[in-house]
Amino acid sequence: MTNYGFGSKKVTVDTLKLPQSSAKPAVPVSNIAGVLQNGQELGFVSREPNTRRKPGPKRTEAQDKITVTGRKHTIDQLKAYCDLEGLSYCEAIERLLGNENR
């Protein structure tokens, strides 16, 4: 068996020089509230979505998908309409097509 040029010295955990890990102390809960308040005072805006969209209707019939590319203004209007009326995109399309009672 060959030693691949590393010599015959046996390597053990004791002979390895591992970097010292510095465990960061946990932030106390009382400090988190202060951090959040400081963030708000500095104008931090949360990226968390504030509302979830209403899911589409229960699938009682065959489903299909479309991808729509259009002017941003038009797509934004559709999204705003859905949010205002509390509709899913599919429900809004049905309403706009006059197919609500299908």
Distance CA 75, CA 69 (A): 8
Kindly list the distances between the CA atom of residue 101 and the CA atoms of 29, 31, 58, 66, 77, in Å, as whole numbers in the listed order: 53, 55, 15, 22, 23
Query: Token pair for residue 69?
Result: 């590319």
Q: pLDDT at position 2, please?
A: 65
Q: What is the pTM of this model?
A: 0.41
Query: pLDDT of 6-59, one tens digit each?
Result: 666 666 666 666 667 667 776 666 678 888 888 888 888 777 777 777 777 777
Over residues 52-81, the mean pLDDT reads 86
Q: pLDDT at position 72, please?
A: 94
Domain map of the chain by residue range?
A: 65-97
Cβ-based neighbour number of residue 94 at 10 Å: 16
